[in-house]
Amino acid sequence: MRKLCKTIVLVGMMGAGKTSVGRRLATALGVAFRDADAEIETAAGCSISEIFERFGEPAFRAGERKVISRLLREAPHVLATGGGAFMDPETRGHIQDTAISVWLRANVDLLLERVKRKDNRPLLRNTDSRTALVRLIAEREPVYAQADIIVESDEGPHDTVVKRIISALQAKGELPNDGAT
C-alpha cells in the first residue's frame, strides 16, 4: 500500500474530470476522496447554483475558501476542487503550503462536450458556453500552471489519467515507486 504524506488537490477547469478522476485516484491510493463542491453544498444546505443566485459569487468564494481550508487540515486524501478555487490567492497559497496540487489540463472541445451534459454550471448560464470557456481558460491557465504537477485529461479512460498522476507523484518523490501503477 502506498503511503500518502500530503493531500492531493486536483485543480482545473469545470469538466476536466476532477471528481471522476479524483474518486479513482483515491481508490488507487487507498485514501479518502473529498469533493469541495459537495462539501460546500452540505455546509450551506443548498446547491452551488442557489448560493450564486442568492448571495453571489463573492459569498460563494468565501465559503469555498473556508471549506477547503478545513479539508486541508484533515488526514491526507484526494480533494477535487471547483474550477475557480485555485484562482483565489489565499486558497492557492494554503494548497501550495500544505498539499500537492495537480492541474488536470483539458482542451476546450473536451471541456465543452463534458459541461454540456449538466445544467449546473453558474458561470455558463445565460451565455455562449464556448465563448465563456475560452475566456475562463485564458484567465485561469496561467494560474493553474502554478500547480505542482500538470497532467493531461483527455478523451481516454479516466484510469489512464490516474496512472499519469501516480507516475508524476512518483517522479516527484511524493509516492514510493512500488511498481504498481
Q: What are the DSSP E strand ranges found in 6-148? A: 7-11, 33-35, 78-80, 99-105
As beta bridge partners, residue 79 has: 9, 34
Delimit the domains of the chain by residue range: 7-168
Q: Is the pLDDT of residue 115 over 80?
A: no
> Which of 3.40.50.300, 3.40.50.880, 3.30.390.50, 1.10.10.60 is the CATH number of 7-168?
3.40.50.300
For position 122, what pLDDT does the model report?
Answer: 46
77-111, pLDDT tens digit by residue?
999 999 899 999 999 999 999 999 999 999 998 88
Q: Which three cell numbers stand for residue 162?
A: 490516474
- What's the burial of 170, exposed, middle or buried (CB within 10 Å: 0-12/13-18/19+)? middle
pLDDT band at 49 (very low <50, low <70, confident <90, very high): confident
pLDDT, average across residues 64-69: 96
For position 128, what pLDDT does the model report?
Answer: 63
Give the span between the Cα atoms of 154 and 169, in whole angstroms.
19
CB distance 105 to 151 below 8 Å: yes
